[in-house]
Structure 1
Amino acid sequence: MKKTSETLRGDHYFNRDQLLFVNRATENFYAPFHNHDFLEIAFIAEGDGFHHAGDEVMKVRKGELFYIPIGYSHVFRPNSLSGKPLIVYNCVFSALLLQKLIAFSSDPGFISYLKQMEAGGLAFRAFRDRNGRFQKLFASLYEHYASPLAGAADYRHALLLQLLIELHQEQELERKDGRDGLSDASFRHVLHYLELHYGEELSLAALAETSGFSERHLQRLFHRHTGQTWHRYLQAFRIQKSGELLRGTDDKISIVAEKVGYRDIQSFVAVFKRITGLTPSQFRGKQLP
């Protein structure tokens, strides 16, 4: 059965002729499944949860962002099991604002991209913030959204223009990588597999066999999407999970090491100290700020 979708109107969000609204919201279970008559770019600032997008439910986490076109139904939900808040930056803007940005732009490819966006020709897309640049942009947009200073509106529009340029460049990179046969959504499945099996013995060869991609190609993809080799990414994820176990359980350090995939306690301690600067014992005993 098709889900009922409520329509949100830009008149409720836009003050005077600003045509732009930015907030930082803690998602809940009460917001309705909705579409809107404006464009939205959303960024996961903290936590993890789920994005009900169209007919799909996808797991989301910090550092992911989404382009949501006019009329596309969606809603974010927190992860009830983790107990951590899901915090999302929402940048919403009218298609009318794109006319001003188009007039300011000079690159033909980017102008075509904005015109497609204005005409509703761009579909829902998911992206990954590979080097923190999107996080900085959203934080700056949020910081300057309510500024009363002279030129503040133009500054916000310049930040939005930069955000759209970054999205366009990211999409161009994906298009170039398309001949390798992996979309952004496909790589998310690779990461999801690691999140489910990080406590097992994992190798790049086994991951390549599971995903259907070559080892060399997977290495390129990890570097492109995360800025790390697959092994460094796996190590960092395992240490993150071990930190949660050290703080949240009374398990012995050897048990924690085994749960996150380390069979050699000395290797675990060495990697843990390299990444966190503390031994597991020191980390467990340190008071949270």
Structure 2
Amino acid sequence: MKRPMETYYGDYFFRDDTLMYVNRNAENFTGSYHNHDFLEIAYIAEGEGFHHMENSVQRVRKGHMFYIPLGMPHVFRPTSSNGKPLIVNNCVFSVQLLPKLIAFASDSKTASLLKQMEDGSLGYRAITDRHDRFEKLFVSLYEQYAMQISGSAVYLHTLLLQLIIEFSRALEHSQPITSEPSHPSFHDVLQYVEGQYMHELTLAHLAQISGFSERHLQRLFRRYTGQSWHHYLQNVRIRMSRELLRTTTDKISMIAEKVGYKDMHSFNSVFKRSTGLTPGQYRSDTQHHG
């Protein structure tokens, strides 16, 4: 028996001239099986559940991301009504926005993907966020959409284009959603460092998980970051510590530990060499300037 279906219209969701809508939703068993007249990129932020589509059901979990084209009937459901919630981040946008993004896209691959979205030739896609790169983008999209301050529309469009570029890159190396790629690119190595910087990382460990030799990794870091491996890791940790100093009231010793430094003297020394200030001076200065 054919299940009942609703159609969602962008005019109900879009505000002003952004032609976009961003939300974070706890899925349930009462939400409607539906299609829509807009495009959707959905990201599983928490939990596990199922994605019900026209002729199939796909198990989903945190880190799975989906491109849902015009008119495709679907709905997300949690695994149970009283278990861990299934949280989905949604970025939906009008086809009318795509010409603006196409005009801005300077590389042929991105422009081609945008045109496929525009003419409807890009079908349903599912990929896995292997190193949280999409999670960070969805956090930024949600924050910018909620703020509604000067420049938010342009900022949202820029973030959407960034999301689509990352999506395009992921599609090039995508495999079935239940499997993992056998050999990561150096970009994946950088993303791994971004997600694991707080732990004890060595070049030998990176070589083991990536398949690159230590010597080749050193060359890749020099070529693509302009820094040695050791310097790159230090800069990631100091960047993260600056963010924590600006946005939390945690003790400096706790922040040092959070970003991977067990020795306060080493943390203070590297931080001052990088910023010209001690961690305490940096926190005081940023608070003073708002």
In structure 1, what is the equivalent of residue 22 of structure 2?
A: 22
In structure 2, what is the equivalent of residue 104 of structure 1?
A: 104
In structure 1, what is the equivalent of residue 45 of structure 2?
A: 45
In structure 2, what is the equivalent of residue 247 of structure 1?
A: none
d(CA) in 1 for partners of 2:108 and 2:149? 33
Offset of residue 5 of structure 1: 2.1
In structure 2, what is the equivalent of residue 170 of structure 1?
A: 170
SS at match of 2:88: strand
In structure 1, what is the equivalent of residue 236 of structure 2?
A: none
Offset of residue 155 of structure 1: 0.5
1:85-126 per-position Cα deviation (integer Å, ceiling 9, x unaligned): 111101000001111111111111211110110111101011
SS at match of 1:184: coil
In structure 2, what is the equivalent of residue 127 of structure 1?
A: 127
In structure 1, what is the equivalent of residue 87 of structure 2?
A: 87
SS at match of 1:143: helix
1:48-197 to structure 2, matched below 5 A, reads 48-80=48-80, 83-174=83-174, 183-185=175-177, 188=178
Offset of residue 6 of structure 1: 1.2
d(CA) in 2 for partners of 1:6 and 1:167? 28
Amino acid of the residue matched to residue 48 of structure 2? D
- Checking the alignment, whether the CA contact within 8 Å between 2:29 and 2:81 is kept in structure 1 is no
d(CA) in 1 for partners of 2:173 and 2:182? 16
d(CA) in 2 for partners of 1:82 and 1:47? 12
SS at match of 2:150: coil
d(CA) in 2 for partners of 1:7 and 1:63? 27
d(CA) in 2 for partners of 1:7 and 1:126? 22
d(CA) in 1 for partners of 2:30 and 2:3? 15
Offset of residue 19 of structure 1: 0.5
1:4-60 per-position Cα deviation (integer Å, ceiling 9, x unaligned): 321100011001222000000000100111000000000001111111022111111
SS at match of 1:138: helix
How many residues are matched?
A: 193
Q: Please, what is the CA RMSD of the aligned residues? A: 2.6
d(CA) in 1 for partners of 2:157 and 2:182? 37
Amino acid of the residue matched to residue 157 of structure 1? H
Long gaps (5+) in structure 1: 175-182, 192-217, 233-289
Amino acid of the residue matched to residue 28 of structure 2? N
d(CA) in 2 for partners of 1:42 and 1:109? 22
Offset of residue 220 of structure 1: 3.8
Offset of residue 81 of structure 1: 7.3
Amino acid of the residue matched to residue 88 of structure 1? V
SS at match of 2:147: coil
d(CA) in 2 for partners of 1:70 and 1:54? 13
Provide the TM-score with structure 1 as the length reference: 0.62
SS at match of 2:153: helix
Amino acid of the residue matched to residue 166 of structure 2? E
Q: Is structure 2 residue 2 aligned with structure 1 residue 10?
A: no
Long gaps (5+) in structure 2: 193-204, 210-290
d(CA) in 1 for partners of 2:82 and 2:51? 15
Change (3 A) 1:148 1:220: closer
